[in-house]
Amino acid sequence: MKHLRVSAIIHPQYQNLKEEITKIINAYDEINTCIYNGSRNSIKLATLSNGQKIAIKSFKIPNIINRYVYKLIRKPKGLRSYEHSERLNELGINSPQAIAYFEYTTNLTLRNSFYVSEYVDAELTYRDLLLQSENPNREKILKEFIDFTYQLHEKKVKFLDHSPGNTLIKQNEDGTFSFYLVDVNRMKFNKEMNFTKRMKNLSHLTTNIDDIEKMASHYAHLIGKNSFDVFLRLWLETIKFQFRFYKKKDLKNKIKKMYYHE
């Protein structure tokens, strides 16, 4: 990255740690604590000199077309994550505090980019909860999660990646639970969320019909609708979403076979 132009946004609260954070980013490959390593990005954990743990998300170098798109036309994912996290917290919706954004570019293309946020040491994600049928707090968490999602919709936020792995769940000292949205680069604000849009947004979360019935019942109570009507709509949107998801996945697999068949 020596021959690339680097630019950075450091949150005002962390300006005094700018040099330290920059050194951590430059030594990203040497960090041993990796908490996620996927095909598109990775997340590593580091600790600042003040004792605070931070999560550093490294985005995969975009394909040849998106290198130009993210430099010239559209905001990169890391920058959107930084801005969206700030916007969410301003609205009173939990998301790990944005700390910094770094990008390495040429005159016309984006190459490496990094998003730095506080590390939230959560007990589980919503995906974990779905698998924990014996969790003694399961019903309570599910209800509070629907309260959280309802507030998201009421505040006109459309979280396009409202999927099971993108909500961290942390238990508070008083026994209640706090929810934190992560992977927030795909999000729209000031969007009127009518009933259909709300059900479509909820349909990404689970195919467990018992959970869907419980979610629908509580959401119906919050919006003043008949619980059976809400359940039918949510179940229908869930089926439609799953059909689109697997149809898209099947198409991707067919394309891969066409171009990468040995």
Q: What is the pLDDT of residues 222-249, one digit of tens each?
A: 999 999 999 999 999 999 998 876 666 5
Share of residues in the chain with pLDDT > 70 (%): 92
CATH class, 124-246 region: mainly alpha
Residue spans of the domains in the chain: they are 5-118, 124-246
Domain 5-118 has CATH 3.30.420: no
Is 163:204 a contact under the CB 8 Å cutoff?
yes
Q: Of 161, 79, 87, 162, give the one whose Cα is nearest residue 116.
A: 79
Burial of 79 (0-12, 13-18, 19+ CB in 10 A): buried
SS3 sequence, 81-118? HHHHHHHHHHCCCCCCCEEEEEEEECCCCEEEEEEEEE
Q: Of 146, 163, 164, 159, give the one whose Cα is nearest residue 222.
A: 146
Phi and psi for 219 in degrees, rounded to 5?
A: -65, -35
SS3 147: helix
Q: What is the pLDDT of residues 66-88, one digit of tens each?
A: 999 999 999 999 999 999 999 99
Share of residues in the chain with pLDDT > 90 (%): 85
Q: Which helix (H) or strand (E) holds 74?
A: none
Report the distance separating Cα 48 and Cα 164, nearest Å.
Answer: 30
The confidence score (pLDDT) of residue 262 equals 43
Q: What is the pLDDT of residues 11-69, one digit of tens each?
A: 999 999 999 999 999 999 999 999 999 888 999 999 999 999 999 999 999 999 999 99
Sequential DSSP letters for 198-244: HHHHHTTS---HHHHHHHHHHHHHHHT--HHHHHHHHHHHHHHHHHH
| Model confidence, pTM | 0.89
The confidence score (pLDDT) of residue 257 equals 52
